[in-house]
Structure 1
Amino acid sequence: MAQDWTQVIEAEIVARDAEIGSINKQIHENPELAYEEFKAHDAFVSILQSLGFEVTPRAFGLGTAFSAEVGTGGRLLIYNAEYDALPGIGHACGHNLIASSSFASFLGVAAALKASGLPGRVRLLGTPAEEGGGGKLKMIAAGAYKDAAACLMVHPGPGHTLSGPIRGVSYVRMLANVKMRVYFTGRESHAAIAPWDGVNALDAVCLSYNAISMLRQQMHPYERIHGVFRSAGDRPNVTPANCCVEYYVRSVTRTGAERLWQRVLKCFEGAAIATGCEVRTEALNSYADVRPSHALCKAYLDVMPQGTVAYDEPRDFLAGSTDMGDVCYECPGFHGAFGIGTKDGEANHTKGFAAAAGTPEAYALALECGKGMALVGWKVLTDDIFADEMRKEWEADMKVAAEGK
């Protein structure tokens, strides 16, 4: 019986290659920034409706989010489709592939639910603005993941870092990320006539930058700090009175990232004191660490082609941050990864990676992952013992997370 539904899932994904491929091509060729993904949103809604699914466009109060759901009763399974791009370099994180794999998983599980008549619900969420906009944070607040048994998605990474026949990774931890905008306020003056009358906000920026660079010597190897100058003055002959920087502070847990941020904050405060400036901070969309479900990761390993997926990732294979981390605090989560080939070995957030994300080879790998996630999702919906163990494991991990570990 279980094998029959496996065949239904796989056959549906193969049969819907044209629709999945159309979404993949549409998203990749039309990169849209956070909360501006109108073409991607409309394309998804249109294709889902043409396939007979009930879709909620502009879902959860977001103009570029959508929700489609199939089934009744039982447990709720969710797949995330991301589709926002990066400024200037397009789909350099391969969100077209993320959308395609989740779409494939949803279609496969939906077909099995319809054919079997078994209880259970599968939901496909269009989740905008992962690249710094915190779309999933807003969707969590609006109840998009309430009562979910599990949420799954898969992310592309740099294939050249994987070895031998390995083309994917099941258990992928990603860093928590505290994001802050910092404003220094000084006083303008003519930099030639009366520089002594000025209070230089750019000096505070530079002083804090150097202090943070020194702080890196006392950081853990897995922690990261990086920032940019948002505004640093207008003319050389006017002492800058208003300057702004934006910083990301990352560590392996939310507690660790917040602890590191407090150390970074002292660099800003000290620079303000030294230069006579005022300083204030503005919190942006901070992301929690990704805490994958071991049960889901092991199940994924079991259903993927033998020898092609590793359980743990190489160091720094996908060492960024994502709002999927916050979803992992709402329900058991899976955020596996697969490697795609780039011409010159580029990693994510480069033009080379964007080009690689549009290749047929990358799409084929995304579909392979989509099939795997569909089979794992089916296990979540139909295997009571597995679902119970997965839930208990997640609840135990949430207690560990609450302790900052």
Structure 2
Amino acid sequence: MEDLIKLKMWDELMRAEIDARKDEIAFINNQIHSNPELAYEEHKAHDAFVSVLQKLGFEVTPHAYGLDTAFSCEFGTGGRLISFNAEYDALPGIGHACGHNLIAASSLAAFLGVARALRESNIPGRVRLLGTPAEEGGGGKLRLIQAGAYKDTAASLMVHPGPGHKLPPTVTAVSYVRMLANVKMRVHFTGREAHAAIAPWDGVNALDAVCLSYNAVSMLRQHIRPYERIHGVFRAAGERPNVTPADCTVEYYVRSDTKRHAQELWERVKKCFEGAAVATGCAVRYEALNSYADVRPNRGLCRAFVEGMPEDEVAWAEPADFLAGSTDMGDVCYECPGFHGAFGIATGDGEANHTKGFARVAGTEESLGRAVSCAKGMAVVGFKVLRDEEFAEGVRREWEGDMGGAREGKGV
């Protein structure tokens, strides 16, 4: 009974600390939302975080891990290490239409809560807040992984906003969120220029190769799994109608439930490009972009999040259908046990992620309140990993087993 009372005391302490730091949390949220910055250009967000954390007495490493707009802030000594991920990049033309301001605010709040519990309890352990730039296609966390930011991490956590109108009325968050792996490729076709009217027979038309491959990929879609996705755009398709296009480029995303399945699907898509090149006489080459792994939620962390949420908030722990998007948090899940929960904000029809309507709702006080509620749940989970040896070992064992399945191409 005494241990249970202590646990409740630490949970309440963290929640109280998060409430006490509402001004700092709101400042970060509003600063980021009001000043949208694209991938690797998040200088204002970076500087705002560094300033707030330093004023609160924390030691901060700006421009961390060789990235100009990343930062790292760690508190505690010894024991296990957990991390919270603060994303803050925006989208071109539509600002924070994926709500990264809310991700940043919730991760800051969770970090502050756990840091307070560590300070008061003298429990061995470390909590790290990572500023993770360039999630929107830039692969910021991939570069952080390569630099060792997640090495020896017992758990890494974050939550992401989504359209609340798609959730049941009584549910505000979802703890067990699966997202697809994504192979990203830029494909270049090279032909030969010619005057399209005077000597078209001298030309080799790269635009023909692009169009032929596009139609072939479109036909392939009827033979893929229901949750798989293939989509692409023309990046370059010629300049003038009277010049046979010699250099044309397309960019494609190929998604499936696991890294292995996404790569296998890409090999099928690749044959569409190879066939188009043969048919038109063009050369073809491939430029690999930042591909993302699938998000593989840790069930132990998911269950603990549901239990740690405030009493007036309801979260699901059961596996839901795949969210058809992808994120570099998936790659973190391959490095250490990961948690990537989701919460709903008050959107309406047509206001899903990556829309102007979502960007508007992401800036409201109500949305920040939902992010903070999830931060309290994350803080409880994070501190449990640090203080509870049996729980942390269980989380680790599950992750190791899941990684064995991932190497065989198995989903979660």
Q: For this structure pair, what is the TM-score category when the shorter chain's length is used for normalisation?
A: over 0.9
Q: Percent identity?
A: 72
Structure 2 CA distance, aligned partners of 1:213 and 1:136? Answer: 32
Q: Report the equivalent of 1:30.
A: 35
What's the CA shift for 1:147? 0.2
What's the CA shift for 1:237? 1.0
Correspondence 1:136 to 2:135: no
Structure 2 CA distance, aligned partners of 1:2 and 1:247? Answer: 49
Whether contact under 8 Å (1:344, 1:352) holds in the other structure is no
Correspondence 1:16 to 2:18: no
Correspondence 1:266 to 2:271: yes
Whether contact under 8 Å (2:178, 2:320) holds in the other structure is no
Distance 1:138-1:226 versus aligned 2 partners, 3 A rule: same
Correspondence 1:149 to 2:181: no
Q: Report the equivalent of 2:314.
A: 308
What's the CA shift for 1:181? 0.4
Structure 2 CA distance, aligned partners of 1:159 and 1:191? Answer: 53
Q: Report the equivalent of 1:219.
A: 224
What's the CA shift for 1:404? 1.0
Whether contact under 8 Å (2:178, 2:321) holds in the other structure is no
Structure 2 CA distance, aligned partners of 1:27 and 1:319? Answer: 26
Q: Tell me whether 62-71 or 355-364 shows the greater mean CA deviation.
A: 355-364
Whether contact under 8 Å (2:230, 2:254) holds in the other structure is yes
What's the CA shift for 1:129? 0.4
Letter in 2 for 1:149: A
Letter in 1 for 2:279: A
Number of paired residues? 404
Whether contact under 8 Å (1:77, 1:148) holds in the other structure is yes
Letter in 1 for 2:292: Y
Correspondence 1:399 to 2:394: no
Of 258, 281, 298, the match for 2:286 = 281
Q: Report the equivalent of 1:387.
A: 392
Letter in 2 for 1:167: T
Whether contact under 8 Å (2:103, 2:159) holds in the other structure is yes
What's the CA shift for 1:313? 5.8
What's the CA shift for 1:55? 0.3
Task: Show the 5 A alignment for 1:61-76.
Answer: 61-76=66-81
Task: Show the 5 A alignment for 1:165-314.
Answer: 165-305=170-310, 308-312=314-318, 314=320
Task: Show the 5 A alignment for 1:54-133.
Answer: 54-133=59-138
Letter in 2 for 1:350: T
Q: Tell me whether 195-204 or 65-74 shows the greater mean CA deviation.
A: 195-204
Whether contact under 8 Å (2:273, 2:284) holds in the other structure is yes
What's the CA shift for 1:314? 4.8
Correspondence 1:350 to 2:362: no
Whether contact under 8 Å (1:287, 1:322) holds in the other structure is yes
Whether contact under 8 Å (1:161, 1:314) holds in the other structure is no
The root-mean-square deviation of aligned C-alpha atoms, in Å, is 1.0
Letter in 2 for 1:56: T
After superposition, the C-alpha distances for 1:34-81 in whole angstroms (9 at most, x for unaligned) are: 100001001100111111100000000000000000000000010000
SS in 1 for 2:68: coil
Structure 2 CA distance, aligned partners of 1:361 and 1:379? Answer: 28
Structure 1 CA distance, aligned partners of 2:308 and 2:235? Answer: 46
Structure 2: gaps spanning 5 or more residues? 1-5
Structure 2 CA distance, aligned partners of 1:349 and 1:70? Answer: 34
Letter in 2 for 1:304: M
Letter in 2 for 1:40: A
TM-score, length-normalised on structure 1? 0.98
Letter in 2 for 1:226: H
SS in 1 for 2:19: helix
SS in 2 for 1:99: helix
Letter in 2 for 1:174: M
Correspondence 1:360 to 2:365: yes
Structure 1: gaps spanning 5 or more residues? none
Of 356, 373, 380, the match for 1:375 = 380
Whether contact under 8 Å (1:100, 1:367) holds in the other structure is yes
Structure 1 CA distance, aligned partners of 2:335 and 2:185? Answer: 24
Structure 2 CA distance, aligned partners of 1:31 and 1:61? Answer: 22
Structure 2 CA distance, aligned partners of 1:166 and 1:276? Answer: 56
**Runs of 4+ that moved beyond 4 A:** none
Letter in 2 for 1:300: F
TM-score, length-normalised on structure 2? 0.97
